[in-house]
Amino acid sequence: MDRSSGILLHISSLPSPYGIGTLGREAYAFADFLHAAGQKYWQLLPLGPTSYGDSPYQSFSTFAGNPYFIDLDLLAEDGLLARSDLESVDWGGNPRYVDYGRIYAARFDVLKAAYRRGYPRDRAAVEAFCRDHSWLPDYALYMAVKQHFGMKSWLHWPDEDIRLRRPAALERYGRELAEDVEFFAYLQYLFFKQWDALREYIHSLGIKIIGDLPIYVARDSADVWAEPEFFQLGEDNVPTEVSGVPPDYFSADGQLWGNPLYDYDRMKRDGYGWWIRRMEGAGCLFDVIRIDHFRGLESYWAVPYGAKTAKDGRWRKGPGMDLVGALTNWFPHLEIIAEDLGYMTPEVKKLLADSGLPGMKVLEFAFDAREPSNYLPHTYGRHCVCYVGTHDNETVLEWRDQAARSDVSMARRYLGLNDAEGFHWGMIRGGMSSVADTFIVQMQDCLGLGPEGRMNTPGKPEGNWRWRLLPWEATPALAKKLREYARIYGRI
C-alpha cells in the first residue's frame, strides 16, 4: 500500500431520508468528499445482512449484501417503487441514529413492492445472476425457510428434514416457498447492481474500498446451514465449542461471541476451498480486505457451548501459514490487512511476519505512561496501517475524557497537542505524520465528536452500530482541512 490515508465510515452511517445509509445519492456524495479531501481509501465494516443485535459481524451470510442498504430512491427512478410507497412510512425520527426496530418492521414491505413490480421484468437477469453466484440459491432458500418459521435460528426449525437439509425437504420447501425464494434472490440482484455502480464511481475518483472480513461467520447463517461439515458441530449440528476472546482491555469477562468454530482439519483436506470461495466473494465487494481477528488464525479461544462468559475458554491451535499462504497465493491481486490487535504472542508475531501482511497500529493504545508501547509512532515500520481508533474504540475525545490522566498527559507531550489546534486534530496529525504507509481515521474523529459518536462498545449487547453522519457535516471546509493535512505529510 502506497503512502496514503482514508476515512472509516460504514454505509449504515450515511445520511438518508429512510432511516439508514444506503448505496444511493449520499454514498456518491461521500465519495466526492473523500476525493476533495485527498483521501485514497474508504473503509467499511462488513456489508452482510444483519441479524439479532444488528451487528455487521453477525450476518445471515458471508456472501450476501444487506437489503437495508438498497437505495429506495434509485428503485423509484427505475420504476420499481412509487413515491406513495415511501411517503407514508415512519423510518424513525432521529437522523443521528438508526432505529433498527422501525427499519426491520418497514423495509421488507417496501422491498416486496419493488419485487412485485420488478421481478417479472428482470427474471432473466436474476436467473443469470444466480448462476454466477453459487452461494445464492442456498442463501435465498435459507432466508425463505427462516421467514416461514418466524425468523427462528435454523437450529430451532421444527422440521428436522429441512434443518438437516435432506434432499426431499430441500425440493419441497423450494417448491412451496418459491415466491419468497425469488424475493430474497431478487434483493441480492438489486444490492449488487447498486453496489457495482457505486464501486465503479468510487474507482473513477481514484479511491479504493477497504472492507472487513470477520474471521467467523454467524451460527444462524446460510453458511453454517448449507455446509455444516466445515464447522465444529456435534449431534444435530449443535456446536461443541464457540468463539470468543479471553478477558482483555475491553471486558473483564472476555467476549463471548458465540460463533461456531471451524473444523480446520476438514477444511485443509478440501484445500481450504471454503475460505477461497469466501475470499473471492469479499473481492467482489472490496479492493483491500482487512481480516478481522487475524491472531485467531494462529491460535483461537474456544469456549464450551452453553458457557455464560468467555472466562472458561482455552487456546487451541489454528491453521497459521497453511491457510494464510493458501489465500495470499490464490489472490495475489488483493491487498490484505491483518487486524493483529489483542493478545500478541511470539507465535502471532511470527505469523504476521511470515505472511508479509501489514498489521495495525492504534494511537489510542499508544500512550500508556507506565510502560513502553509498540503503538507509539516512533516504533513503527512503514509496512503497517495506523488508526487513531477503530469502530470498537471510543472516539478520540471520549478517550481523552475517560483515559488515565497520565496517559492523556503523555499523549499531549508526545504529539504536542494543544487547544489551538484541537485535541482530535492533533491526534489525526500524529497518525498522518507517522511513517505508516496508510493512515485511517473515523469520520466521527474528523468531526470532533464525543461519546455520542461511538459506533460499538464490545461486550455491550444493545445500542451499537447506530451512529449516522448528518447531511451537513461533510463540508467543503472539512475536506479542505483534511486535504491540507494529507498534503503536508505526503499522503496525496
Alpha-carbon distance of 256 to 245, in angstroms, equals 7
Alpha-carbon distance of 254 to 249, in angstroms, equals 9
Q: Residue 89's CB: how many other CB atoms inside 10 A?
A: 16
Helix (H, G, I), strand (E, B) or coil at 384: strand
Note whether 297 and 318 are within 8 A (CB).
yes
**Which residue in 221, 301, 298, 229 sits closest to 269, CA to CA?**
229
Alpha-carbon distance of 452 to 250, in angstroms, equals 18
**Residue 54 annotated as catalytic:** no
Helix (H, G, I), strand (E, B) or coil at 257: strand
Catalytic residue among 32, 392, 421, 473: 392
Residue 441, beta-bridge partner list: 7
Alpha-carbon distance of 261 to 302, in angstroms, equals 8
The amino acid at 163: R
Alpha-carbon distance of 66 to 69, in angstroms, equals 6
Distance, CA of 34 to chain centre = 19
Alpha-carbon distance of 65 to 429, in angstroms, equals 35
Query: What single string gives the DSSP state of each residue in 131-161?
Result: HH-TTHHHHHHHHHHHHHTTT--GGG-S-HH
**Residue 263 annotated as catalytic:** no
Helix (H, G, I), strand (E, B) or coil at 233: strand
Catalytic residue among 122, 182, 220, 339: 339
Classify residue 92 by burial, with Cβ atoms within 10 Å: 0-12, 13-18, 19+. Answer: middle
Catalytic residue among 292, 298, 340, 445: 292
**Residue 339 annotated as catalytic:** yes
Note whether 441 and 42 are within 8 A (CB).
no
Query: What single string gives the DSSP state of each residue in 185-214?
Result: HHHHHHHHHHHHHHHHHHHHTT-EEEEEE-
Q: Where are the beta strands (DSSP E) in 57-113?
A: none
* Sheet-wide strand order for 255-260: 255-260, 241-245, 299-304, 314-317
Write the CB contacts of 425 (distance below 8 Å, at least 6 apart in sequence): 448, 481, 485
Residues identified as active-site:
292, 339, 392
